[in-house]
């Protein structure tokens, strides 16, 4: 922001931080053949599998906050790379179940280790990954993410202003 401008809004700062972290994760996992989005998918899948879940693409999309169509695209690319298996759900032929391959698990474990180190570095200004300020920051971000968005009503006459 320039010297003459007002303070940045929280939305602007969240957007800037998200972009900064996305770029940092992209660079960190690139040597493993992953993008940030792919990492988010395989790391989430890894965590879900560790607790016994076998998620569908839709469930993984809901878990990650990514659009279902984007998860489908990422899953196809990861399948082509030999990192995940996609299989039709026998109970719902429209649904695809996802699972990490052996190679996918190995790459994901490496990526998680790399990203944990990166997070420690990125969170150092708050005292590091396990610091009280980081826990408070995480709690605040969780509150914001858990808050429902009010549905917008386009062209609602009560929301429109008239000028004379």
Residue-wise pLDDT tens for the chain (164 aa)? 555 568 999 999 999 999 999 999 999 999 999 999 999 999 999 999 999 999 999 999 999 999 999 999 999 999 999 999 999 988 888 889 999 999 999 999 999 999 999 999 999 999 999 999 999 999 999 999 888 887 767 665 555 555 44
Concatenated DSSP letters of 43-110:
HHHHHHHHTT---BHHHHHHHHT--HHHHHHHHHHHHHTTSEEEEEETTEEEEEEEEE-HHHHHHHHH
Burial code (b: 16+ CB inside 10 Å, e: under 16) for 82-97 equals ebbeeeeeeeeeeebb
pLDDT for 160 equals 53
> Which two three-digit tokens encode residue 101?
């391959």
pLDDT for 149 equals 81
Q: Indicate the pTM of the whole model.
A: 0.82
pLDDT for 164 equals 46
């Amino acid at each position: 922001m320039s010297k003459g401008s007002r303070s940045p809004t929280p939305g602007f700062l969240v957007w800037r931080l998200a972009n900064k972290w996305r770029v940092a994760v992209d660079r960190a996992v690139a040597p493993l053949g992953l993008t940030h989005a792919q990492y988010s998918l395989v790391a989430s899948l890894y965590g879900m599998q560790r607790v016994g879940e076998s998620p569908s693409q839709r469930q993984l999309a809901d878990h990650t906050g990514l659009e279902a169509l984007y998860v489908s695209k990422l899953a196809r690319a990861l399948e082509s790379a030999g990192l995940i298996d996609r299989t039709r759900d026998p109970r719902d032929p429209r649904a695809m179940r996802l699972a990490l391959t052996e190679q996918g698990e190995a790459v994901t474990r490496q990526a998680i280790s790399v990203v944990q180190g990166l997070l420690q570095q990125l969170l150092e200004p708050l005292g590091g990954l396990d610091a009280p300020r980081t826990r408070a920051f995480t709690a605040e971000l969780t509150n914001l993410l858990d808050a429902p968005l009010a549905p917008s009503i386009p062209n609602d006459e009560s929301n429109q202003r008239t000028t004379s």
